Amino acid sequence: MATVEEIEETILKPYRNHRQLAIREVETIGINLIDLLITKDVHDARTMKYIARFLTKQDYTDLVQERNLVKRCGYPLCSKSQARVRDPFANVQMTNFLRQNNPYAYLTEYCTKAHFRCSQFYQFQLSDEALFARVGVHLDDYLPSNEMQLLEEVLARESDVKQMIRGMTDLKLAEDDSKEEMEKDMIDMLAEIKIVEINDPCSIGDLGRDQ
């Protein structure tokens, strides 16, 4: 599994002595990173977000294609193969419209539709800015302009909020509470909720944190 620590040690270490990368250094980093992610899957969400600082949308497209060639799901966080290692309609005579609008074409690149969507969500957030223009991107103190998000994390947070709402609506209402009043109270409560993402969560949850 590819980790942040492995990328820093094996790919970035030779370039830590200056802040701006030369074009040749950028090319070397890009090639080495893609080579690593062809043979290894990304270890965790932290690493998946970390590699975003070195990728453009086109780089990611290339990575997906290269992973497919070695029979890996295009989503780097996945350790499975594509659902179809080849397109069963590739050699069948079809109209251009049907070929271009095949609803199952993603199965030749991803194991499931879920990872197809996760991959799309990730790629959409990647910058088109060339790596050599991203000053300090290879250094520890680099701060991305936008925090990368993973679709599975967004859906998990949404699921938690929906579950809380369902639990609230299942509570027995007092006789003097109307449905309208309950809905207003729920809206007010949800408006005060702030979802905070912890970059380095404790393995046993909040109980493991200092009080």
Name residues of the chain where pLDDT drops below 50: 172-176, 195, 203-211
Domain 4-149: CATH class, spelled out? mainly alpha
Q: What is the pLDDT of residues 68-119, one digit of tens each?
A: 999 999 999 999 998 776 655 555 555 555 556 666 677 889 999 899 999 9
Computed over every residue of the chain, the mean pLDDT equals 77
Q: Give the distance, in angstroms, between the CA of residue 2 and the centroid of all CA atoms in the same chain.
A: 15
pLDDT at 206: 47
| The Cα angle at residue 17 between residues 10 and 23, in degrees rounded to 5 | 75
- Separation of alpha carbons 79 and 175, rounded Å: 54
pLDDT of residue 211: 42
Angstrom distance (rounded) from CA 174 to CA 204: 37
Q: What is the pTM of this model?
A: 0.68
